[in-house]
Structure 1
Amino acid sequence: MSFGDGQEPSDGFGGTGHTRTRLPEGGGDVYGGARRGGRSSSRSLITVVGVIVLLIAAIAFANRGGDDSSSTDGAGSQPEAASTAASGEKPVQAKAGGIPSGFAQDEVGAQSAAANYAVTLGSTGMFNKGTRHSIVDAIYTPPAATKLQGAMDQAYSADFLGKLGLDAEGRAPEGSTFVSRTVPVGTKVQQFSDSSAKVAVWYMGLIGMSGEGSTDPVSSTWKTWTFDLQWTDGDWKIASDAQTDGPAPVPGDDRAASSDEISKAIEEYGGFTYAR
C-alpha cells in the first residue's frame, strides 16, 4: 500500500465542513462500546498515511521522467444517465499471481483494470518487500516499475512499518490483525484511446490494527485515485498514478465494532474482482 496509489499523504477524511463530538458509551476495548470521537495523535498518523502510504515519494519519482502517457487522442467520456449501471462485460479472462489480468482493450476494460489495480495496491501485500515487488512488476509498465521499486522500498522502511505496529517483514503482532483494504465506489474515464487511458477511481480505504492492545483502530478514509494506463503487452498497465482527498461523505452514527468483530470480518469476508 498502495498502499498504493512522492506526494506527502494528507488527511484521508477530506473537508466535509462538519465537526462532530461523540461521547463514550462504554469502556474496555478500544473499538467497542463507543462511537468514534476526536482523533488522537497516534490515530491521526494512521489516517494521514491511509491506504496511500505506497505513494510516499514513489509516485512523484515515477512521474518524473517525461512520460507522455497522459496525451491521448480521445476527448474523454462524460457521465450519462446510466453511468452507474453495470456494463455486463466479463472483467478479465485470467489472473496472474492472484492479480486480475487480461482486460479488454476498451473503456470498460480500462475502468475494470483501474479498479482492480487500486484494490491490489491498497492491500496488505504492499507492506512486504517480496510481495510488493511482484505486485509492482505485474501491474506497472516496465519503465514505471523500475523507477518505483527503490523509492517504495525506502518509503516502506522498517521504521515506518514499526509506526504502523508491523515488524520489518510487514507482519502484525501475534493476536492482532493488520487491515489495509481499498473498496472502489465508482470509476470514471477522463481520457481514452486505443493505446492509453486516464481513469479515476473513487474509493473508500480501510487502514489500522485490530487487536486488544491496539491504539490505532481500523478507520476509513475516502480518496480518488487517478491512473494513467498504457496498453502494454496485451493488457492495461499503470504508467503513472496520483491521489487526491475525497469526496468524503459525512460520517454516519454507526457504533464502532469491537476488535474481535473486525478481525473476524477481515478473515471471513474476501475481496472481489471488480468489473465495470
Structure 2
Amino acid sequence: MSLGGDDGSYDDGGTYDVGGTGTTRTHLPDAGDAYASPRRPARSSRSLVTVVGVVVLLIAAIAFANQGGGEGSGDGSGSDGSKPGGNPTAASGEKPVSGDRAGIPSGFAHNAQGAQSAAANYAVVLGGDGMFNTATRHEIVDTLYTKQAVGELKGPMDKAYSPEFLAKMGLDENGKAPEGSTFVSRTMPVGTKTVKSTADSATVEVWYTGLIGMSGTNSTDPVRTTWKTWTFELTWSDDDWRIVKDNQTDGPTPVPGDESASTSKEISEAVEEYGGFTYAR
C-alpha cells in the first residue's frame, strides 16, 4: 500500500505503515591486348546499389521476425509471462481489461500475464490521490482486496491517513488541497515481473516511479519523484485478481538527470492536462 510513492504496507498482525561471405569475382583483360588496362565491367554502380539495398531489407525483415513483433508472437515475456522478450517495455499479449469496477480497471486474464497487468493497474490506483479521502479509499480497498484483507486493513489505514498526517501533507481532513494549490500523488509503473504463480495465485513485483507533493506558490512540500518496487500477493477471486497482501521496498533508483526543476505552475498544469493509462504486460 502506498501514499503516492511513499512506503506503505501491512503485516499479518494488521498494522499499517505509511510509506528494457562475400564472393570475389576477377575480371580479365581483353584477349586482343594482354597488357592493356582492364575494362570496367558493364554492370553499372546503380545495379550494385539496388542489390545491396535488397540485402539490407532482407536482413531487417529477418531481424523483425525474430523479435516477435506481430500479433501471433506470443506474450513477449516467456510462457509464464515472467521474462521480457525482445522489447520488454512494450505492452504485449492479451488486452488488459474488458471493464471496470468502481472506475477501476477489472476483468484481467486468469493467468500470470493477467496478474501482472492487474498489479500494475492496482499500483496506479493505490498510489493516487483518491487514497487521501476516506470514502474514496474505502471504495478502492473494497474493490481491490480480498474480503479478509479488507477487514484487516481498513482500520489501520484510517489511522495512517489521520487528520494530523493529512495536515502534514498540506491537505484538509477530506484530503483536499488549499485554494490555488494542487496536490500531486501519482504512480507510473516502469515494468512488472512474476515472482511465482499457480493457477489461482501469483506474486507480482511492480517497479515504478512516483510523484508526491504539493504544487503551489506557498507550498513547503514541493513535488518530488520516488523509485520503488511494489510487491503484490494476488489470488483469483470473484472472477478477477484480488490483493491478499502487499508491501514496498526502495529502488532500483537511477541516477538523477540534469534537467532543471519546473515551476509549480508548470507542474500543476501538467497534472491537470496529462491523463493516465491502463497498463498491460
Report the TM-score when normalising by structure 1: 0.75
Aligned to 1:193: 198
> Does 2:2 align with 1:2?
yes
Change (3 A) 1:263 1:149: same
| SS of alignment partner, residue 208 of structure 2 | strand
- The answer to whether the 8 A contact 2:166-2:172 is kept is yes
The runs of at least 4 consecutive aligned structure 1 residues that moved more than 6 Å come to none
Instruction: Give structure 1 stretches of 5+ with no counterpart.
Output: 4-49, 65-73
- 1:45-194 matches, within 5 Å, as 51-52=5-6, 55=8, 58-59=10-11, 61-62=13-14, 77-194=82-199
Q: Over residues 229-248 of structure 1, what are the superposed CA-to-partner deviations in whole Å (9 max), with x where a residue is unaligned?
A: 00001100000011110000
Shift of residue 83 of structure 1? 3.9
Aligned residue identity for 1:166 = L
The residue that corresponds to 1:28 in the other structure is: none
Judge conservation of contact 2:111–2:199 (CA < 8 Å) in 1: yes
Mapped to 2, the partners of 1:259 and 1:61 lie a distance apart of 40
Specify the structure having the higher radius of gyration (Cα): 2
Query: Given the superposition, is the C-alpha separation of residues 168 and 143 from structure 1 closer, same or farther in structure 2, using an over 3 Å criterion?
Result: same
Residue 235 of structure 1 is matched in structure 2 by 240
Once residues 143 and 167 of structure 2 are traced to their aligned partners in structure 1, the CA distance between those partners, rounded to angstroms, is 27
Contact 2:5 2:209 in 1 (8 A): no
Residues 193-244 of structure 1: CA distance to partner in whole angstroms, max 9, x if unpaired? 1110000000001000000000111000000000000000110000001111
Label 1:104 to 1:230 Cα distance change in 2 as closer, same or farther (>3 A): same
Counterpart-to-counterpart distance in 2, 1:181 and 1:124: 7
SS where residue 213 of structure 1 aligns?
A: coil
Deviation at 1:76, TM superposition (A): 8.6
CA distance, structure 2, for counterparts of residue 60 and residue 123 of structure 1? 24
**Cα gap change, 1:156 to 1:81, in 2 (>3 Å):** same
- Structure 2 CA distance for aligned equivalents of residues 103 and 63 of structure 1: 29
Matches within 5 A, 1:5-16: none
Shift of 1:96: 1.1
Letter in 1 for 2:191: G
Distance 1:62 1:75 in 2: 32
- 1:210 counterpart residue number: 215
Partner of 1:18: none
Residue in 1 that maps onto 2:252: 247
Paired letter, 2:217: E
Change over 3 Å in CA distance of 1:101–1:63 after alignment to 2: farther
> Equivalents in 2 of 1:51, 1:105: separation in Å?
28
SS of the equivalent of 2:142 reads helix
> Pairwise mapping of residues 17-36 of structure 1 onto structure 2 (< 5 A)?
none
In 2, Cα distance between the equivalents of 1:63 and 1:192? 26
C-alpha RMSD over aligned residues: 2.1
Q: Deviations over 1:163-216 (max 9, x none)?
A: 010011111001000000000000000101111000000000100000000011
Aligned length: 219
Mapped to 1, the partners of 2:259 and 2:138 lie a distance apart of 38
The 3 A distance-change label for structure 1 pair 94 and 176 is same
> Could you say what secondary structure the match of 1:229 adopts?
strand
Unaligned runs of 5+ in 2: 17-78
Matched, 1:271 2:225: no
RCO (CA 8 Å, sep 6+): is it higher in 1 or 2?
1
Please say if residues 189 and 207 of structure 2, whose CA atoms lie closer than 8 Å, have aligned partners that are also in contact.
yes
1:60, CA displacement in angstroms? Answer: 5.5
CA-to-aligned-CA distance 1:42-81 (integer Å, 9 cap, x gap): xxxxxxxx6235x26x4554489xxxxxxxxx99944555
Amino acid at match of 2:151: T
Sequence identity of aligned pairs in percent? Answer: 62
Q: How many Å separate the matches in 2 of 1:245 and 1:215?
A: 24
Change (3 A) 1:85 1:176: closer
Question: Contact (CA 8 Å) 2:208, 2:228: kept in 1 or not?
Answer: yes
